[in-house]
Structure 1
Amino acid sequence: MTAESYIFIGGASRGVGREIANYLTGENQKVKAMLRSDQSRADLEGMGIKVVMGDGLNVASVEQAMLGEPIHAVISTIGGLPKDGERADYLGNKNLIDAAVKAGVKKFILVSSIGSGNSVVALPPQALETLKPVLIEKEKAEQYLIESGLIYTIIRPGGLKSEPATGNGVLTEDPRVAGTIHRADVAQLVCRCLESDAANNKVLSALDRNMMYGQAEFEEFSLT
């Protein structure tokens, strides 16, 4: 990564995206964040982050947000509450992926969710029924990224909690495991994947090794 290139975050205003922004600035990385509203702009700028305004659902504004400084990698945690009935889980990420391809970005990390794709087997039927509309969108985003030609890492966290990092976050290629993990631990794993060639073109579940459901044996994925 060159000194003048940036890591671009979509979804940095809250949740895992905010934790990733915290972690990267703590590591003195150059970060550019796209925000849809001004609400957390001052906070992020106070951390030394270059903030650009843009809406993930608007192709032109996403492309505009990525212009300017060279971008080494994109991290997207876009998703969540529908805006005008339209979720950003697929469309917002599709727009980011397309813009990243246009901008010549090297690597794209997508934060998805356990229950998406082949990890559907990890969730009980009741949870699947509740989350189905979201998981369908997330799976479409994952597939779009895989087919984009970008170097990708897809990280599917388990149930998310907001407490401080435990340091017990682990990654696995085993799609059958489920559990919970703190958002700050997801952020650390995401940021470690940025610099890891081992994580290139992988789909990984993220859990806290001490907060597993039904303690199944599984193989940890090594980033080294």
Structure 2
Amino acid sequence: MTSASYIFLAGASRGVGREIAQYLTAQQLKVRAFLRTTAVATELERIGIEVVQGDALNIEDVERAMLTDEPIHTVISTIGGLPSDVERPDYPGNKNLIDAAVKAGVQKFILVSSIGAGNSVVAASPQVLAVLGKVLAEKDKAEQHLIASGLTYTIIRPGGLKSEPATGNGVLTEDPHIIGSINRADVAQLVGRCLNSERANNKILSAIDRNMQFGQREFAEFNLQ
């Protein structure tokens, strides 16, 4: 990354996105956070993040935030709906971000999806699919739109998310059968390491904590170096 370029982060208000915001600023990277509400704007600005308000479901908002004079190195999206949302942004919001990123000439797009989307549906239990099947289908549509966009991409599919401090045991794998849990802070570290990893380009990777795998399946860890 050049000093003039920045990272555009969608979903920084909570969860994995919030952890990524903290991780990136700790690395002294320039970050612009795209927020639907300003509830956490002050907290993010305090750690050096530029905040732009807008709704990912509104393409005009997204383009206004992204199409600026400053070049964007990478877009990172962790956006996803809450069960209470009338319209979930998992597909339409990410579609708008991807389409705007194409217009902006972004170098890389990192999408945080979920184990159970796409070909990793084989890893999800029937109970999970019964509850989250519709959400995972929307996430799969977002993944497919990104792959078809022509952008250089990395898709990271975390397993069950926990809010504990980072363990440092987060691992990536191309094996779609793997499932387990991972702390949000460890997902943030993996996303950060993918930023400048050419090996991660155009890859779909599942993310778990090596000590929180469900089952005993052997798998190859993906090396980012």
Greater Cα offset, 174-183 or 83-92: 83-92
Structure 1 match to 2:57: 57
Question: Map of 1:13-92 to 2, 5 A cutoff?
Answer: 13-68=13-68, 69-81=70-82, 85-92=86-93
Structure 2 match to 1:209: 210
Structure 2 match to 1:10: 10
Q: Which amino acid aligns with 1:215?
A: Q
In 2, Cα distance between equivalents of 1:83 and 1:165: 29
Question: Are 2:109 and 1:96 equivalent residues in the alignment?
Answer: no
Give the TM-score taking structure 2 as reference length.
Answer: 0.98
* Equivalenced residues, count: 224
Percent of pairs with identical residues: 71
Structure 2 match to 1:223: 224
Deviations 1:157-203 (A, max 9, x none): 00000000000000000000100000000000001001100000000
Q: Is the contact made by 1:57 and 1:88 (CA closer than 8 Å) also made in structure 2? A: yes
Deviations 1:129-181 (A, max 9, x none): 11101000000000000000000000000000000000000000000010000
| Unaligned stretches of 5+ residues in structure 2 | none
Q: Which amino acid aligns with 1:178?
A: I
Structure 2 match to 1:132: 133
1:214 aligned counterpart, secondary structure: coil
Question: Map of 1:152-191 to 2, 5 A cutoff?
Answer: 152-191=153-192
- Cα offset for 1:80? 2.2
2:217 aligned counterpart, secondary structure: coil
| Unaligned stretches of 5+ residues in structure 1 | none
1:222 aligned counterpart, secondary structure: coil
2:40 aligned counterpart, secondary structure: helix
Q: Which amino acid aligns with 1:164?
A: P
The RMSD of aligned alpha carbons is: 0.9
In 2, Cα distance between equivalents of 1:144 and 1:160: 24
2:91 aligned counterpart, secondary structure: helix
In 2, Cα distance between equivalents of 1:135 and 1:82: 13
